[in-house]
Amino acid sequence: MEKFPSLVLGPNQEQIPDWRQISLAELCRFRTMVQPDLEIMSFLGDGIHETETLTIERLDRQASHMAAWLSKVLPPSSKVMLLFENGPDYLIGLFGCAYAGMVAVSGVYPSDFGSRDRLNYIVKDSECSAILGKKKVLEAFQSECLEVSQEVFWIPVEISETYYKKVYNPSLNEDLALIQYTSGSTQNPKGVILTNRNILFNLLQQGQKFGYQKGDVGVSWLPLSHDMGLMGAALMAIGAGGKCVLLPPETFLKDPSNWLRAISKYGATLSGGPAFAYQMCLNINEDTIDSLDLSTWDQAFVGSESINRKVLEQFEVKFSKYRFKNLAFCPCYGLAEATLLVSAKERNLLPLFITVSREKLSEGYIVETENLEDQRGIVSSGNLIDETQAVIVDSNMNICSDRECGTIYLNGPSISSGYCGRFSKNIESFNYEGKLYISTGDKGFFINQNIYIIGRKDNEINVNGVLLDPEDIVFSVNEVEDKLSQRNCAVFQKTGRHESIVFVFGAANLEESVFTSIFRNIKNILCRKFKVSNGEIIAVSKSGIVRTPSGKVSMKKTQQHLEDGRIDMVFRKEFSSHDNSSFHVRKMKTYERSSK
């Protein structure tokens, strides 16, 4: 039996390798030795039926074959892009790289809109030497990505089934293991560099925070090319000795009940996703889920974007009859630059909420108020994982106290040292008490060691000197228009007009009379609650809202596509807080951009 530097007690009191000394490859090999028959993945190819399974023994075997082939054509430490849909092949590719001592590059989901452009960008930015994927996918991309097709090796993962040589040459604990590209919600994707040490520490902390037990089952529809899908589902199953039930993302987006049915069928204890996933479930027809049983689901993590308290409350009301427990909600905070998890609610406690003054929050202070028009509700994302520190920094780079809002900076064992490629020199950092803290780009504050996230700094809107967050506006609109949510709305400032707001929403088969009603409700919220003096409200097709690979709305890219004429508008109407006269809705195809 192979020996490891040392063993420590894991979250479920099992002896596991010390995260300070091993690599990702050694974690997989360890799990193979202690649980060779463990089924780590069940893949539901159509979102309902099990079409493939993966044992840890098969993963270990095919990863070593894949590593042998990679080592035949590439030198150690080469960068290899993973180009896979959800499924076992992704893990075979990832651990093939790990077993060969190479660096996997992740961040492209083949069937996503814009995946060809994203691949071209990432291949150049990361300077990868090869692209690893299924043969049919590679053939399609190779013929369409002429910018890079001659610069890299295109390697089919099927080789791992027929090439029988083996290689096991893991990298060192502090060596680079993965370059995870961000969603690019506010700008071009950034390649976050992660070491074995970063990844293994974060997996350990996830196990401790979420209370993973040996044999636990998790369900995920999130793309493995995204950090939440990879770190929070697939790798966590290997780390904890559990099982991941995996769905293709498109099967959830088409029918959210597939997600809940999988949780019920497999008795999953752990599952979650961005807040919009829970909102989508509110529209499920109850006639299709009459036999649903969510009683085993005791960790329903909610993260990746700002959390709407109303959505959690509505979800609990709708699904309590299926034995879903409010205690199961686990609001959390994470980002690729921190490997994944930064904070989470403690197990078996109810989520914490606070209602603050929107006006004072804009000034950087957390003050509670009884003025309903000024109230903003914010959900706590729990407390920090072990050995991780956060400081809140204001616009003058001063450290904020409790109940003061600013940009969040992080330090800790799972925090990346920076980016590769074009952003390698653009990492924003801050020295405090002899430690280097990395900017998250997120705004938030602390109260009694609980962290609250209020939005992205880059998405901030300045209206008459008051700073507004798009998420806050969308949540407020959602209170009067249930069909408008984080999933289908974007809000931004009109280029060249600092007092003007643009509210865009996607809808199918929208009639003018319906738009007129929605327009009046949105205008009323913007003018009354947010003191917006003028702006415009635009309806586009459902596909007109630009989303990241993880499904979040990209405010900046939606704005850019609209201004570039790449989004067809269905209806558009400008408004002023002083104009209460009747109006005419304009049907347009192009967007008029203000001059600067």
Residue 332: inside a domain: no
Asked if 199 and 225 touch (Cβ cutoff 8 Å), the reply is: no
User: Whole-angstrom Cα distance, residue 563 to residue 210?
Assistant: 43
469 in the same domain as 434: no
Asked if 465 and 498 touch (Cβ cutoff 8 Å), the reply is: no
- Read off the CATH number of the domain in which 131 is found: 3.40.50.12780
539 in the same domain as 395: no
Given 437, 458, 479, the domain boundary residue is 458
Predicted confidence at residue 88, as pLDDT, reads: 96
Asked if 559 and 492 touch (Cβ cutoff 8 Å), the reply is: yes
Residue 395: inside a domain: yes
Residue 133: inside a domain: yes
CA 415, chain centre distance (Å) = 16
Residue 292: inside a domain: no
Asked if 90 and 224 touch (Cβ cutoff 8 Å), the reply is: yes
Given 219, 249, 279, the domain boundary residue is 249
Residue 329: inside a domain: no
Q: Look up residue 42 and give its two tokens.
A: 């069940």
Q: What is the pLDDT of residues 223-258, one digit of tens each?
A: 999 999 999 999 999 998 999 999 999 999 999 999
User: Whole-angstrom Cα distance, residue 13 to residue 462?
Assistant: 51
Given 458, 484, 510, the domain boundary residue is 458
Place of tokens 């990298």: 171
3-class DSSP string for 371-422: CHHHEEEEEECCEECCCCEEEEECCCCCECCCCECEEEEEECCCCCCCEEHH
Residue 590: inside a domain: no
200 in the same domain as 61: yes
Amino acid at 571: F
72 in the same domain as 18: yes
Residue 290: inside a domain: no
421 in the same domain as 483: no
Asked if 423 and 121 touch (Cβ cutoff 8 Å), the reply is: no
Instruction: Tell me how far CA of residue 475 lies from CA of 15, 160, 353, 486, 550, in angstroms.
Output: 45, 48, 15, 8, 20
Angle at 35 between CA 34 and CA 41, to 5 degrees: 140
557 in the same domain as 518: yes
How much is the pTM?
Answer: 0.92
Predicted confidence at residue 594, as pLDDT, reads: 44
Torsion from C-alpha of 281, 342, 427, 564, nearest 10 degrees: 10
475 in the same domain as 399: no
496 in the same domain as 467: yes
Residue 85: inside a domain: yes
- Read off the CATH number of the domain in which 563 is found: 3.30.300.30
In eight-state DSSP terms, residue 117 is H
Q: Per-block average pLDDT, block size 10, for the chain (596 residues)? A: 68 80 95 94 96 97 97 96 97 98 96 88 93 95 80 92 92 97 78 97 92 88 94 92 95 96 97 93 91 95 85 94 96 95 92 92 90 90 96 92 95 94 77 91 94 91 86 89 84 77 89 90 91 90 82 85 87 80 50 44
396 in the same domain as 356: yes
243 in the same domain as 103: yes
Q: Domain count of the chain?
A: 3
List beta partners, residue 178.
104, 194
| Residue 445 lies in domain | 352-458
483 in the same domain as 434: no
- Read off the CATH number of the domain in which 387 is found: 2.30.38.10
SS3 44: coil
User: Whole-angstrom Cα distance, residue 132 to residue 93?
Assistant: 7
448 in the same domain as 467: no
Predicted confidence at residue 581, as pLDDT, reads: 44
